[in-house]
A and B are shown apart, each in its own frame.
Chain A
Amino acid sequence: MAGIKRLARTGFEYLESGLDVVFGPGWNPLYYLGALGWFFYWIVAVSGIYLYIFFDSGVRDAYESVEYITHTQWYAAGIMRSLHRYASDALVVVVLLHVAREYVTDRYKDARRFAWLVGVPMLWLLYASGISGYWVVWDQLAQYVAIATTEWLDSLPFFGEPIARNFLHETVLSGRFFSLMVFIHIAVPLILLFVMWIHIQRHMHPRVNPPKGLALGSLVMMLGLSLVYPAVSQAPANLNQVPSTVGLDWFYLTLYPLLDVYSGEVLWVVAIATTALLVIMPWLPPRYRAATAKVDLPNCNGCGRCVADCPYSAITLEPRSDGDYHPKEAVVNAAKCVSCGICAAACPTASPYRRRAALVPGIELPGATIADLRRTTTEALEDLTGQARVLVYGCQTGVPMNESQDNGVAVVTVPCLGALPPSFLDFVLSRNLVEGVLLVGCRAGDCHYRLGQEWTQQRIAKQRDPYLPDRIPRERIAICWVGIDQKGKTEARLHEFRNRLRELAGPPSNAQQDTASTQVAEI
């Protein structure tokens, strides 16, 4: 299993690299799968509302009304119908990719399991929404779907009279169940929307909108497909005949052919077992959970910077519990904390310049303290020699940065680049301990802890507290966002950066910093 997961991770890495080239990291669809899901959902919702104006929900008239939508009003309702179908299909693709990617990147355990668990019923709701949609067209595919679905439901031991009898023959056709399906096709997507909202509740700044360029591209793609290859109905349903051959929507009806091979009971067991497996996955081995962030009250003044920066809303400000004159204190909800350490870097007390015997900030990770970071940083720099000495701060979840063989390069690993207080860059550069600092993080736009990249860039650019001071020459800092398969690229960038440093005159502390420039090169 672990081997398959590694293989899938490698596959995703290659795909991400390829799409980085095509779209650039800012628009790479694989980094916005959840947001694209929301985007396609809204296309489906808006087009569905328009279609409902012209749809006749009676079983005898439904087909004719869909034909009117498709052919008579092809320029508006017809396009809406195609958008409705194709966006629904695209929704399935992005959702399944989203699930697979969260799994292979281990973003479903511990504090993240809430979103994972909420996502499991979303899969059922998504499929129920799509399948009920095919039903209401009442063409031959709808007939096949109606009969196959009701026969499958009838294999459960709950129903006295077989539901499939509603579709026994034209002479006894019952509109009851059909009308119920129309209602279900409206109600279930609304429930899905509600669960989608719950799904993102534990995320600070959730990505529910893709970047404008990606959204525009996706919309143009959907419109183009709708115009070139409009969605049409199959022959009208006729219960006196068996719909022996149907054009299936393989995104939603993938499992239906299995109903002709295996009994309904077997497929229920498979479906329920798969669901149960998805539910228990966050608790399956390997299980390792780093210690969650801890607040040190004597050093916490309740400023709220950690609250603002936590990507998972795991920290809140509560009334002071230690009698201190500050009105508030930070409180960590361990169940929501993913141990990224971003909160520690946001804390103004997390400074390597502090001269107390013990360097303890207001909040930090017990397993990766700020004191440890200062110690490992200073130890790593002790033996550095040469002209263009570089300290590499590498993200733990990014490309593995082993000890360099070069005497001019030292490597220090942090849980996330967002967990690195900007004052450490100041510390090593203003003391001339190195000529440059290279920050190596996860692939651009795909921070393992969601907001680490954004906060790092904003802190260095003086857009987010704590700022990197003006005195630090930004040309001495470089950022390299890379995937875990891009070690070679990282080494090439490091080499390039060192060559650039060699061209700069004097030590970092003497550099004349242009205070207007707070931009750091991304290499």
Chain B
Amino acid sequence: MVSPGKIFMQAIAYAGFAALIGYFSASPEYAHMDPKLALIKLSFSHAGAPKTECRKLGQEELNELPPNMRRLTDCPRERVALLVELDIDGVLVYRDWRPPSGVAGDGASAVYERFPVQPGRHKVTVRLRDSRKSDGFDWEYADAVEIKPRQNFVIDFRAETGGFKFL
């Protein structure tokens, strides 16, 4: 038979353990980001152009191939790296070459970057080069946007729907 004194002490011990579990299961709060700030998230996945153009095979080259593999053109799989730039209020905050994914370098390039900013009006300009050209950009979009505190302002890119999109 457990004595009343022991039951009391056990109740205290159980209550202490319960308090520990209860408190740390949701507290103290963690400030992941200053709530006065907002976030600009630049993220997209896009495949650049093939690194080299397709080449027509000569008759001699075709003859060397087995009959079932005689394609008229040789198109290397590797793609170019994407050049991405982001300006906020005229200040270049991001510029990077994003390599294609995959072992053969033939997959899409991906971008996923976060930029905490002060809320308010900002001029946002984003540029992308996805071709083999050595200068300039293939895609560019700029707009003045009003960003609220804690807003998750997303810059996405979909070539099939016209390029950059601010969400």
Residue numbers of A with Cβ under 8 A of B are 19, 21-24, 85-86, 89-90, 93, 144, 148, 151, 154, 160-162, 164-165, 168-169, 171-172, 213, 217-218, 220-222, 224-225, 228-229, 231, 239-251, 256-257, 260
Instruction: Collect the chain A residues with CB atoms within 8 Å of residue B160's CB.
Output: none
**CB of B118 closer than 8 Å to a CB of A:** no
11 new A-B pairs (CB below 8 Å) besides A23-B6, A161-B45, A164-B112? A23-B10, A160-B45, A168-B41, A169-B167, A221-B18, A225-B18, A244-B150, A245-B29, A245-B31, A246-B30, A251-B24
Q: Which of A148, A162, A250 contacts B112 (CB 8 A)?
A: A162
B62 interface residue (CB < 8 Å to A): no
Contact between chains at B17 and A221 (CB < 8 Å): yes
Partner of A168, one of B2, B20, B156: B156
B150 lies within 8 A of A242 (CB): yes
| Residues B26 and A248 in contact, CB atoms below 8 Å apart | yes
Q: Which residue in B15, B29, B43, B152 is a CB contact (below 8 Å) of A242? A: B152
Q: Which of B1-51 contact A (CB under 8 A)?
A: 2, 6, 9-10, 12-15, 17-18, 20-22, 24-27, 29-35, 37-39, 41, 43, 45
Q: Give the complex CA separation of A159 and B156 in angstroms.
A: 19
Residues of chain B within 8 A of A168, CB atoms compared: 41, 43, 154, 156, 167
Closest to B158 in A: A172
Which B residues are CB-close (under 8 A) to A247? 26-27, 29-30
Chain A residues near B12 (CB-CB < 8 A)? 22
Docked pose: A220 CA to B12 CA in angstroms: 13
A221 touches B14 (CB 8 A): yes
Decide if B112 touches A243 in the complex (CB within 8 Å): no
Residues of B within 8 A of A24 (CB): 2, 6
Which of B53-61, B75-83, B100-108, B126-134 is the interface stretch? B100-108
B32 partner, pick from A154, A213, A228, A245, beta carbons under 8 A: A245
Q: How far is the CA of A19 from the CA of B6 in the complex (A)?
A: 11
- The answer to whether B26 and A249 touch across the interface, beta carbons within 8 angstroms, is yes
B55 to chain A, nearest CB (A): 27
What are some 6 contacts across the A-B interface (CB < 8 A)? Answer: A86-B18, A160-B107, A169-B156, A240-B151, A245-B30, A249-B26
- Specify which chain A residues have a CB less than 8 angstroms from the CB of B14 in the assembled complex: 217-218, 220-221, 224
Q: Which residues of B contact A225 (CB under 8 A)?
A: 18, 21-22
In angstroms, how far is the closest chain A Cβ from the Cβ of B95? 19
Which of A86, A165, A246 is the one whose CB lies under 8 Å from B29?
Answer: A246
Whether the pair A169, B10 counts as a contact (CB closer than 8 A) is no
List, in ascending order, chain B residues with CB within 8 A of A240's CB. 151-152
Q: Is B110 an interface residue (CB 8 A)?
A: yes
B43 touches A241 (CB 8 A): no
Interchain CA distance A164-B167 in the complex, whole Å: 16
Q: Tell whether, in the assembled complex, residue A160 and residue B101 are in contact, meaning their CB atoms are under 8 Å apart.
A: yes
**Nearest CB of chain A from residue B42's CB, rounded to whole Å:** 10
Whether the Cβ atoms of B110 and A162 lie closer than 8 Å is: yes
Known: A165-B45, A169-B154. A244 touches B18 (CB 8 A): no
**Tally of contact residues, B, Cβ under 8 A:** 42
Output the least CB separation between B120 and chain A (Å). Answer: 16
Report Cα–Cα, A49/B83, bound state, in Å.
Answer: 50
Cα-based distance from A148 to B30 in the complex (angstroms): 13
Pick from B15, B21, B151: contact of A86, CB under 8 Å: B21
Min C-beta distance of B6 to chain A, whole Å: 7
Kindly provide the distance from the CB of A26 to the nearest chain B CB, expressed in whole angstroms: 10
* Cβ-closest chain B residue relative to A140: B32
A161 to chain B: which residues have CB within 8 Å?
Answer: 45, 101, 108, 110
- In the bound assembly, the distance between CA atoms of A251 and B12 in angstroms comes to 22
How far, in angstroms, from A249 to B30 measured CA to CA in the complex?
Answer: 10
In angstroms, Cα B10 to Cα A172, docked, is 52
Contact: B9 with A22, CB < 8 Å?
A: yes
Please report which residues of chain B, range 130-161, place their CB below 8 angstroms from some CB of chain A when the two chains form the complex.
Answer: 150-152, 154, 156
Query: Cα distance A355–B82 when bound, in Å?
Result: 90
Q: Which A residues lie within 8 Å of B45 (CB)?
A: 160-162, 165
- Set of chain B residues within 8 Å of A245, measured between Cβ atoms: 29-32, 35
CB of A19 within 8 A of CB of B13, answer yes
Contact residues in B for A256 (Cβ distance below 8 Å): 30
Shortest A367–chain B CB gap in Å is 41
- Do A244 and B167 have beta carbons less than 8 Å apart? no
Are A243 and B32 neighbours in the complex by a CB distance under 8 Å? yes
By beta carbon, the residue of chain B nearest A240 is B152
Distance in Å from the Cβ of B19 to the closest Cβ of chain A? 8
Q: How far is the CA of A242 from the CA of B10 in the complex (A)?
A: 44
A contact residues around B20 at 8 Å (CB): 93
CB neighbours (8 Å) of A218 from chain B are 14
Minimum CB–CB distance from A70 to chain B (whole Å) comes to 13
Bound form: Cα–Cα A306–B152 in Å: 68
Q: Which residues of B contact A221 (CB under 8 A)?
A: 14-15, 17-18
- Nearest A residue to B33 via CB reads A244
Instruction: Across the A-B interface, give the 5 residue pairs with the lowest CB-CB distance, nearest first.
Output: A160-B101, A247-B26, A221-B14, A244-B35, A225-B18
* Chain B residues whose CB sits within 8 angstroms of the CB of A222 once the complex forms: 18
Q: Is B151 within 8 A of A241, CB to CB?
A: yes
Q: How far is the CB of B24 from chain A (nearest CB, A)?
A: 4
Are A160 and B2 in contact (CB-based, < 8 A)?
no
Q: Is the CB of A260 within 8 A of B167?
A: no
Provided the pairs A160-B107, A241-B150, A248-B29 are in contact, do residues A165 and B43 lie with their beta carbons within 8 angstroms? yes
A260 to B30 CA separation, bound complex (whole angstroms): 11
Q: Which of A23, A160, A242, A248 contacts B151 (CB 8 A)?
A: A242
Could you say which residues of chain B place their CB within 8 Å of the CB of A242? 32-33, 38-39, 150-152
Return A239 CB to nearest CB of chain B, in Å. Answer: 6
Chain B's nearest CB lies how many Å from the CB of A306? Answer: 37
User: What chain B residues lie within 8 Å of A251 (beta carbons)?
Assistant: 21, 24-25
> Among residues 63 to 91 in chain B, which have CB atoms less than 8 Å away from a CB atom of chain A?
none
Determine which of B29, B41, B101, B167 lies in contact with A171 in the assembled complex, contact meaning CB atoms within 8 Å. B167
Residues of A within 8 A of B6 (CB): 22-24
Verify A250–B108 contact, CB threshold 8 A.
no
With a CB–CB cut-off of 8 A, which chain B residues contact A213? 2
Contacts of B154 in A (CB 8 A): 168-169
User: Within the assembled complex, what's the spacing in Å between the Cα atoms of A164 and B37?
Assistant: 21
Q: B112 touching A239 by the CB < 8 A rule?
A: no
Residue of B nearest to A18 (CB): B13
